[in-house]
């Protein structure tokens, strides 16, 4: 059993999903008269994707909280009150009422995406079932109430939390699967739409780099999937490298256009290649490759997400 560090901040070590550009497009300055208008159908799909992405990012805290709990408790028998790391407890959850409201609105908005929309409905419901249990358990262990009742309430909560967490994780995995397919489609459509209206502008290049970066992150190892598909990882790194070369071409004519992410994006590629070498020596098994580089890669990807969003909101 892997024991977490009491100061672990898993929300800082997990990769954020990058929202697409509907709000960015809508907030941009008016286009010149001779430029085509944005694709309305694409914008509607991006609004839905962004609402779902925001909820997935914010509710990732529940995944981290559950992993924190399961790191010290025996899931088969529940807590006894005598566990060595019982003081680790769980993580408190974030307020996600706004994200849930927007996701529920997106579920019934066009374009209809029946499989994804239905999966999101189930996900919202399973989160609504699990979240209050985690909140109660967090308070219970934080206050060390298990010392008063011999962990009786802890075992009661455990019996409810285990099936609720299993349902939540199953529903989240299903949503993520549908979201990956949706994002792949929207990424291509969005890039084509930007190029149609602006050419391969700074905004096109920033989106292109971040789309390629997210494809790499989709293949990074996780606790659930610790062994990396090295061939797919190599291909994703190659696509990211190609996106950076396109960015380099932009700098020849627009030196300031990519300045926000240029240095960070280049350093990230170097770190990816170093980590790939380590993975190669252990046949892709991240458990044997060490965790320092992996943490740096995730943290700096999240930083690039923030930088890219800032750059894109500035407009052209």
Express each pLDDT in 122-163 by its tens digit: 999 999 999 999 999 999 999 999 999 999 999 999 999 999
| Confidence at residue 39, expressed as pLDDT on a 0 to 100 scale | 82
What average pLDDT does this structure show over 85-113?
Answer: 97
Q: Which CATH architecture has domain 200-316?
A: Up-down Bundle (1.20)
Cα angle value 53/54/60 (rounded, 5°): 90
Residue 282 has pLDDT above 50, yes or no: yes
Q: What number is the average pLDDT over the span 234-247?
A: 95
What CA–CA distance (Å, rounded) separates 160 from 29? 51
pLDDT above 60 (res 18): no
- Give the pLDDT confidence score for residue 95 in this predicted structure: 98
Q: What is the mean pLDDT of residues 34-46?
A: 79
Q: Which of 145-149, 188-192, 250-254 holds the top average pLDDT?
A: 145-149
Beta bridge partners of 285: 227
pLDDT range class, residue 13, cuts 50, 70, 90: very low
Q: What percent of the chain has pLDDT over 90?
A: 69
Where would I find the H helices in the chain? 10-13, 22-27, 40-70, 97-107, 114-142, 146-149, 152-198, 202-217, 230-253, 262-281, 292-314
**d(Cα 236, Cα 176) in Å, to the nearest integer?**
19
In contact, 265 and 213? CB cutoff 8 Å = yes
- pLDDT tens readout for residues 255-267: 666 666 778 899 9
Return the pLDDT at 120. Answer: 98
| Residue ranges of domains in the chain | 38-179, 200-316
């Amino acid at each position: 059993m892997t024991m977490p560090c009491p100061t672990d901040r898993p929300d800082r070590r997990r990769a954020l999903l990058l929202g697409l550009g509907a709000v960015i497009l809508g907030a941009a300055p008016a286009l010149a008269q001779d430029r085509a208008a944005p694709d309305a159908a694409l914008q509607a799909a991006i609004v839905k994707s962004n609402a779902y992405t925001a909820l997935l990012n914010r509710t990732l805290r529940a995944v981290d909280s559950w992993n924190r709990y399961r790191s010290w408790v025996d899931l088969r028998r529940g807590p006894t009150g005598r566990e060595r790391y019982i003081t680790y407890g769980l993580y408190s959850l974030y307020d996600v009422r706004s994200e849930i409201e927007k996701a529920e609105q997106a579920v019934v908005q066009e374009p209809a995406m029946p499989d994804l929309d239905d999966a999101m409905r189930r996900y919202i419901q399973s989160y609504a079932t699990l979240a209050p249990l985690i909140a109660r358990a967090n308070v219970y262990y934080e206050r060390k109430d298990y010392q008063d009742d011999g962990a009786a309430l802890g075992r009661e909560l455990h019996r409810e939390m285990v099936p609720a967490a299993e349902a939540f994780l199953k529903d989240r995995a299903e949503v993520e699967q549908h979201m990956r397919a949706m994002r792949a489609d929207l990424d291509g459509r969005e890039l084509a739409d930007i190029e149609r209206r602006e050419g391969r502008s700074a905004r096109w290049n920033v989106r292109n780099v971040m789309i390629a970066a997210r494809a790499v992150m989709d293949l990074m190892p996780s606790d659930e999937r610790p062994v990396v598909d090295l061939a797919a990882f190599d291909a994703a790194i190659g696509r990211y490298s190609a996106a950076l070369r396109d960015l380099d071409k932009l700098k020849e004519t627009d030196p300031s256009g990519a300045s926000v992410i240029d240095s960070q994006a280049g350093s990230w590629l170097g770190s990816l290649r170093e980590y790939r070498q380590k993975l190669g020596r252990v046949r892709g098994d991240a458990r044997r490759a060490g965790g320092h580089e992996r943490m740096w890669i995730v943290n700096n990807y999240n930083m690039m997400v923030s930088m890219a969003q800032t750059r894109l909101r500035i407009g052209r």
